[in-house]
Every structure is written in structure tokens, then in C-alpha cells.
């Protein structure tokens, strides 16, 4: 019988998982409402779907540069005995203030300034929040920990839909203030709860050798013989871009195709949040027992099928049901993709940096895909938007297929992925 060198490896930190989920819920409550309602605000000044999609993606350009830089700084701060939580407390307060100013803009220029200001600050701590699961969970429990965190994200879909349905049509300024308050209150409670808990693997970071700069870590991804990290980041680019394109254009799609009011259209994703909640833990368990990369690939295939179903839907009920299918596919991808990257990181000391690079790839996709989807809508019609989105999802399936195939059979017919999973029980890492 073998025993693990670290007894913590066999324990799932439930309290840490709860507080991390609360922090991510607080963070995503503003982002989800931003994606659902800001496009409708832009439609007051811009009629082109392509321009709206571009403007909804431009703020993510900031994330391409800000997220890895701030995440790497938090890694350095943590390695020197500091705590990432300070970044979250300051960032959440500033972001909430800027977010609450968006509905007060009375001109196109003021709307852009408030949008970009919020995006700059919120991107600064987004990857730091996302890295908390890796900070406080042992490697063999990070998939489950991330599933709990993603449940926090799913709850923001429900919260955003409820605010859209109940408040938006009555008082838009109050509707924006509610997520801002959730951000501040939730983040402060989460940081208070995590401050009394010791991060996992703190002792292992002391033997990581001389610290590497952000440039060296990025170059390693491109030059290393192991291409899994590079392939995965390309897959993240496609998948995150597709999901963001669907979310950012769903409200105007429902308004144009189904002729719903702004509030009703913004709440059409309510069943998707429930579906995500139901699917989160099962897809994490399935991925741990099989292959995370395979589950991610199948998840994107489900998204493509769900988009095709929306195209053939003719009522709000049918679109809501199909969006629930899309949400299940998204759960399969988003819960497991970052866990793969954590498992194949150069060293556990750089978990924040790798999380930042993950969200950098996501930000590039989130910048380009909504604009591309909007352009295709302009060239065809709103009616065909979901068919275009299905095509994007299929491209992501092909990228993930390369990640799956990169886990080639080893001696005795076992894959490298399975061997990595067995090793993860005695050293930092996890199965891909």
C-alpha cells in the first residue's frame, strides 16, 4: 500500500471552496450583467451589430495585457510572503464604483469611458480571483474546487436574469447598482474567510529556484517540446470567444428575432443558469475519471448542437431550453480547461501567471469573436446568428481534438494523461 507524502492531498477544503466560489460569484455578477445589458445600451447610439460586437470586445483588449501582468505581480507578492487578497479588496471597490456609473452616461462618449474604465480595473483582479482555487486546493481536488467556483458563476446568470426581468424595465440605474453592491459585499466576505486559511503548497514554493519573469514563462510555452499548453490556450481562445459572442448578442437576438422587450430578452438565459448548476459537479467527476481534454471537446460539441437547436426555435420557451443545453456544454469546458493548465504548469509557484495567460487567451477570443459574429449577422440576418455561433464552436472542437491526441499512448498502452493523474497523488499536478 502506498501513502501520500502530504496528508492534505487527500482532503477537499470545503470551506475554502465556498469562499472562493463567493469571490467568483461577486466578480462575475458584474461581468454577467455587463454582457447582458451593455449591448442594449450601445444600441441607443449604434445600429450595427458588428460595431456593437466590436465595442463589447474592445474592453477585453485591456485584459490581454493587464491580466497576466497583474497575476504575475500577485505571484511575486505571494512568493515574498504577501497575500493575493489585498489585490482583490482594492480592485473590487474601484470596479464597483465605475460599473455603477455606466447607466448614468448621457452620451456615447461617456458610455465608452465608463465601460473602458470598469473593464480596466475589473480585468486587473479577474485572474487573481480565478487562481484562488489552485491556491487553496490540493492538485487532485482542483477540478472539484473549480466546479464549485463555476457554480458561483452560474448563480450570477440567475441573478443577472432576475435583475433584468424585475428591475431593468423599471429603473436601469438601480439595476446596475445591485451587481456593484454584490461585488463589494461578496468580495469582502470571501477575503475575510480566506484570510484565516493557509494556501496549499506554500512550503513547496520555497524550492522553486530563481523566479522567472513573465516573458520567460511565455516563451517557455512556445518553445517547450510539450505543446499541450500552447494547444490548450488556442482552444481556450476559440471556446471562450464563442461563449462570449453568444452571451453578448443573445439579448439583441431575442429582441430582434423573437420581438421580446429588453427585460424579457435579458432574462431568457435563466434556465441556462439552472442547467449549469445541475451539470457542474457531474462533469467534473466524469472528467477526473476519464479525460479532462476529452470532456472539454465533447462540451464544445454540445454547444454547437445547442446553437443549431436555437436556430430552429420559434418561441422564447424553445430558445431558453436550447440555451440550457448550451450551458451544459459550457460547464464541461470551463470547469476542466483551466484545471488542465494548472496541472501542466511549469511550477506551482506560477499558478497565478498561468491563470492570467489562460484568461489572456480568453480575452483575445472575447475581443474578436463578438465582432466577427456581429459582422456575419450584418452580412446575413439576426435569424442566422446561432448558425454562425455553431460554426465557431465546431472550430473549437477541432482544436481540442489536437489536445486530446497529444496525450499519446505510453508503455503498456497507458496514456501520458493517465500516468500524470497517478503521479498527481504524490506531487503537484493533475490529470489532463
Question: Quick check: helix, strand or coil at residue 169?
Answer: coil
On whether residue 47 sits in a domain, the answer given is: yes
On whether residue 1 sits in a domain, the answer given is: no
On whether residue 376 sits in a domain, the answer given is: yes
The DSSP annotation for 107-123 comes to SHHHHHHHHHHHHHHHH
Q: In 45-141, where does DSSP find H-type helix?
A: 49-79, 85-100, 108-130, 132-136
On whether residue 3 sits in a domain, the answer given is: no
User: Does residue 276 contact residue 161 with C-beta atoms inside 8 Å?
Assistant: no
How many CA atoms, within 13 angstroms, populate the side-chain half-sphere of residue 69? 9
Instruction: Find the mean pLDDT for residues 142-156.
Output: 86
pLDDT at residue 210, as a whole number: 67
- Of 284, 236, 290, which Cα lies nearest the Cα of 421? 290
**Chain centroid to CA 267:** 20
User: Does residue 91 contact residue 125 with C-beta atoms inside 8 Å?
Assistant: yes
On whether residue 4 sits in a domain, the answer given is: no
Distance CA 82, CA 342 (A): 21
Tell me the residue range of the domain where 266 lies.
13-201+213-423
Q: How confident is the model at residue 419 (pLDDT cuts 50, 70, 90)?
A: very low
109, burial (CB in 10 Å: exposed 0-12, middle 13-18, buried 19+):
exposed
CATH of the domain at 72: 1.20.1250.20
On whether residue 401 sits in a domain, the answer given is: yes
On whether residue 39 sits in a domain, the answer given is: yes
User: Does residue 12 contact residue 145 with C-beta atoms inside 8 Å?
Assistant: yes
User: Does residue 378 contact residue 48 with C-beta atoms inside 8 Å?
Assistant: yes
pLDDT at 296 over 90: yes
Distance CA 270, CA 424 (A): 37
- pLDDT per residue over 320-376, tens digit each? 999 999 999 999 999 999 998 988 888 778 888 999 999 899 888 877 888 889 899
- pLDDT per residue over 103-146, tens digit each? 998 889 899 999 999 999 999 999 999 999 988 888 778 888 99
On whether residue 177 sits in a domain, the answer given is: yes
pLDDT at 205 over 60: no
Helices (H) and strands (E) in the chain, counts: 16, 0
Number of structural domains the chain divides into: 1
Would you say the C-alpha torsion 180, 183, 189, 191 has a positive or negative sign?
negative
The DSSP annotation for 296-339 comes to HHHHHHHHHHHHHHHHT--SHHHHHHHHHHHHHHHHHHHHHHHH
The answer for residues whose C-beta is within 8 angstroms of residue 88's C-beta and 6 or more apart is 23, 125, 128, 129, 187, 190, 191
Q: What's this model's pTM, rounded to 2 decimal places?
A: 0.79
pLDDT at residue 432, as a whole number: 67
Amino acid at each position: 500500500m502506498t501513502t501520500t507524502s502530504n496528508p492534505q492531498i487527500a482532503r477537499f477544503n470545503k470551506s475554502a471552496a465556498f469562499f472562493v466560489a463567493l469571490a467568483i460569484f461577486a466578480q462575475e455578477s458584474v461581468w454577467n450583467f455587463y454582457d447582458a445589458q451593455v449591448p442594449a445600451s450601445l444600441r441607443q447610439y449604434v445600429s450595427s451589430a458588428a460595431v456593437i460586437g466590436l465595442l463589447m470586445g474592445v474592453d477585453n483588449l485591456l485584459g490581454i495585457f493587464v491580466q497576466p501582468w497583474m497575476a504575475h505581480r500577485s505571484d511575486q507578492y505571494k512568493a515574498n510572503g504577501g497575500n493575493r487578497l489585498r489585490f482583490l479588496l482594492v480592485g473590487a471597490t474601484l470596479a464597483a464604483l465605475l460599473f455603477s456609473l455606466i447607466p448614468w452616461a448621457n452620451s456615447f462618449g461617456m458610455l465608452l469611458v465608463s465601460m473602458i474604465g470598469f473593464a480596466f480595473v475589473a480585468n486587473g483582479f479577474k485572474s487573481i480571483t480565478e487562481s484562488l482555487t489552485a491556491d487553496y486546493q490540493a492538485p487532485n481536488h482542483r477540478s472539484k474546487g473549480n466546479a464549485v467556483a463555476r457554480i458561483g458563476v452560474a448563480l450570477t446568470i440567475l441573478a443577472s436574469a432576475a435583475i433584468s426581468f424585475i428591475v431593468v424595465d423599471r429603473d436601469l440605474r438601480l439595476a446596475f447598482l445591485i451587481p456593484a453592491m454584490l461585488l463589494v459585499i461578496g468580495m469582502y466576505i470571501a477575503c475575510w474567510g480566506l484570510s484565516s486559511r493557509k494556501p496549499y503548497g506554500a512550503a513547496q514554493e520555497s524550492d522553486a529556484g530563481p523566479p522567472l519573469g513573465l516573458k520567460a514563462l511565455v516563451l517557455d510555452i512556445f518553445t517547450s517540446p510539450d505543446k499541450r499548453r500552447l494547444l490548450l490556450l488556442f482552444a481556450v481562445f476559440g471556446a471562450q470567444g464563442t461563449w462570449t459572442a453568444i452571451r453578448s448578442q443573445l439579448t439583441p437576438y431575442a429582441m430582434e428575432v423573437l420581438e421580446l422587450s429588453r427585460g424579457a430578452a435579458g432574462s431568457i438565459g435563466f434556465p441556462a443558469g439552472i442547467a449549469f448548476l445541475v451539470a457542474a459537479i457531474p462533469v467534473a467527476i466524469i472528467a477526473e475519471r476519464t479525460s479532462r481534454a476529452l470532456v472539454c471537446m465533447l462540451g464544445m460539441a454540445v454547444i454547437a448542437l445547442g446553437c443549431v437547436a436555437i436556430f430552429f426555435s420559434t418561441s422564447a420557451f424553445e430558445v431558453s431550453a436550447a440555451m440550457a443545453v448550451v450551458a451544459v456544454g459550457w460547464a464541461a469546458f470551463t470547469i476542466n480547461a483551466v484545471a488542465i493548465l494548472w496541472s501542466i504548469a511549469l511550477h506551482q509557484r506560477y499558478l497565478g501567471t498561468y491563470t492570467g495567460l489562460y484568461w489572456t487567451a480568453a480575452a483575445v477570443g472575447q475581443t474578436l469573436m463578438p465582432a466577427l459574429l456581429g459582422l456575419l449577422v450584418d452580412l446575413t440576418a439576426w435569424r442566422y446568428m446561432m448558425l454562425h455561433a455553431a460554426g465557431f464552436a465546431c472550430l473549437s472542437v477541432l482544436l481540442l481534438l489536437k489536445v486530446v491526441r497529444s496525450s499519446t499512448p505510453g508503455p503498456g498502452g497507458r496514456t501520458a494523461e493517465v500516468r500524470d493523474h497517478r503521479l498527481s497523488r504524490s506531487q503537484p499536478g493533475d490529470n489532463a
